[in-house]
Chains A and B, each alone.
Chain A
Amino acid sequence: MTHTTFEDPAFETIYQAMANSNVEEVCPLVEEELRKNSDIIKLIDVLSAGINRVGDKFAEMEVFLPELMMAATAMEEAMVLIQPELDNLGIKIEKSGRVVIGTIQGDVHDIGKKIVGAMLKASGFEVLDLGSDVKPNTFIDQACEFQADAIGVSSLLTTSLPFSKELIKLLEIRNLRDQFKVVMGGAAVTPAYCDSVGADGYGDDASGAIRILKDLIS
């Protein structure tokens, strides 16, 4: 695990606030840097390094889902503050991708999916979380509207797996299969099942899901 440090004390403070889950400090510190006309690209790097550190800590069970979610929210809020400055300078930051996630129809387990959502945001993805018990057609309609690159489907119940298969069938019927990568995960899902239904990828855990989405979208 890397422990990043920054020479500029202000940047180091922002990094530490993000990395150590003092997220309420992040936006005021970012506003301060914007007022000082600090290097904006460097500022984004600092925030990214901080949230990556939170992701590493989560993987090592040093922090837990609430801290991960708060850090992801702080990152989103900081980017909202930074965006007008980026627009002024004509700088376009490439996102890792746009992903619609949800727990499939008939299944109300959503904590694993929330972990994936938070880690995706931390990794620079734009995420639309549809919640749990989501019908296959709702996934597709929302993915179209969100202009998603990928659909992430979570299923913890064996008896909800058929709805994941149905989602892929419906994508084919609606001639949208080429438009979205489909990644599946959750306790009931196996790599063999993903192959059998024609999913593009299988995430054995949150880190695995992000790895596979990065590969697929790039």
Chain B
Amino acid sequence: MPDIFEVLRRADDGPYIKENDFDMKIYRTACRLIKEHEIKFDREKVIVGDNKMADQVFAAGLKLAVELGMYVMDTSRVIEFTEEELLEAAYMIPKEFVLGEGKDSRIMRARTINDGHHMTVCGGCPGVPIEEDIFLPFMISYAKEPLIDIIIPASLTEIEGMSVKTGGPLEVHACRQEMIWTREALERVGRPGMHIYAAGESSATELGALAICNERYMRRTDSHMVPVLSELKTDNARLIRVMAGLEYGAFSTSLIDPIIGGFAGGSEGVAVVLAAALLLSTAAYGVQMHCIHPIHNKYISVSTKEAMWVDSIVGRAFARNAPLAILADAWTTAGAGTKAVLYEAAALAICQECSALHTDSLSVTNGVYPNASGLENRFFAEVVHAIFRQSPTPEEANELVLTLFGKYQDGFENPDLGKHFTEVYDIKTITPKPDWLDLYKEVKDEVANLGVEFIV
């Protein structure tokens, strides 16, 4: 299996191709493979139970990864891997490891279908801009939710009234401050050893990863993230994160967000490209975990049928062929304080739990508005635990998801963005306000009536 130095060598010396030609080659190859492997998206079967088609997605993804490789934008070269190298990397990746410390640690597993372990639930709302003065109570609202296993920080976008700019000096400070406050939130609720996932959320560049490689900020039991650029691309800034993370010794996660409607094509093409990206990033980045996030080109949200199908079939494909610890983003269109966000959360929880995935986070309003809180994440986790115990068939899970989808689908065009954190939570006691709690109870009863057997 190639090590990082061999990867860097290939990034410099691999075959040259123009970026536009690489983009079009992805599309042509994906189209061909979809036909060859008879992969078909069915809007009425969002939760995939078809093992044969899942296996075909894996096979097509492997072929695509071998034929395309990973494109390096700085050198216009392709890091190529053989089929054997990709399969060996997927085999060598740890299947079970401990995240966090002491009583707050959790075992992260490469899941398989119905393997007797429920997902690891990550709490938090990445992407949304959070003001300095509410960052700590905001993170506490997630940290205090008992069903949350690991936590992801929010993004600090202002420091002392100044905007944090990509690549600017404040990125260093914002990432360190984000880690200090997230750790403080965990300490305040008596969970100091909880794993902090995707540390350095406030930085879009390699500066963040470099700034937090210190026990005061990111512990070696925490993790950071290395994106794969869409589609199947990387650059020096991403490879610097890889190098920094490898030498520091914290866990790392690839972030893969293929675009439905973009160069991968529709849902079928995105499933194949995502499978390829999972294999390529395992080999090129040497990560232990993966975050997947198929993006609908119009609605962005993962709660669309197109994106949930991709999550479901890719989760099943890897669970059966090359288990990896895959965490799926659960990004909703609606925001806190609305029924819609709870319906979306429930649909995504069912989809991910039944597809051998973990969750990366429940990020609302597609990561744009700070209209988020711990309560909708509690609901997500409660659905996960209920569904795990019930162990529905894919057909039963699909019926539930489609019913829930019918309750929020109108929101894609006109989203109910909900309310700011401070409007749905009392920030002194850091508890949900009565209106938000009542709405949560109402929807929980409604979802229970649909057949989800909540434990409490």
Measuring CB to CB, which residues of chain A are less than 8 angstroms from any residue of chain B? 58-59, 61, 64-66, 105-109, 111-112, 115, 157-163, 165, 187-188, 190, 205
Contact = CB atoms under 8 A, between A and B. Distances in A.
Contacts of B127: 158
Contacts of B306: 61
Contact of A161 (B73, B163, B171, B235): B163
Contacts of B73: 108
Contacts of A59: 298
A195 to B, nearest CB: 15
A163 B27 contact: no
A158 B157 contact: yes
B265 interface: yes
22 contacts: A61-B266, A61-B298, A64-B27, A64-B269, A65-B261, A65-B262, A65-B263, A66-B24, A66-B27, A107-B204, A108-B235, A109-B229, A111-B230, A111-B231, A112-B297, A115-B297, A159-B157, A159-B163, A159-B202, A159-B203, A160-B204, A190-B369
B165 A160 contact: yes
Interface string B202-219: 111100000000000000
B262 A107 contact: no
A157 B262 contact: no
A187 B262 contact: no
Contact of B205 (A58, A106, A190, A205): A106
B94 interface: no
A191 to B, nearest CB: 11
A70 B282 CA distance: 33
B366 interface: yes
Given A66-B263, A108-B229, A111-B230, A159 B164 contact: yes
Given A111-B230, A111-B262, A205-B298, A159 B166 contact: yes
Contacts of B261: 58, 61, 64-65, 115
**In the complex, which of the residues A115, A158, A160, A187 has the most CB atoms of chain B within 10 Å of its own CB atom?**
A158
A192 to B, nearest CB: 9
B106 to A, nearest CB: 29
Nearest to B157: A158
B155 A64 contact: no
A128 B265 CA distance: 24
A106 B229 contact: no
B166 A188 contact: no
A109 B230 contact: yes
A168 B167 CA distance: 20
Given A159-B165, A159-B166, A187-B300, 12 more contacts: A61-B297, A64-B265, A64-B269, A65-B259, A65-B262, A65-B263, A106-B167, A111-B262, A160-B165, A160-B204, A187-B367, A205-B297
B92 interface: no
Contacts of B368: 187-188, 190
B104 interface: no
A112 B306 CA distance: 18
Interface in B206-243: 229-231, 235
A107 B263 contact: no
A66 B297 CA distance: 13
Contact of B166 (A105, A115, A187): A105
B85 interface: no
B49 interface: no
B129 interface: yes
B202 to A, nearest CB: 7
B453 to A, nearest CB: 36
A109 B367 CA distance: 16
A106 B298 contact: no
A177 to B, nearest CB: 21
Nearest to B129: A158
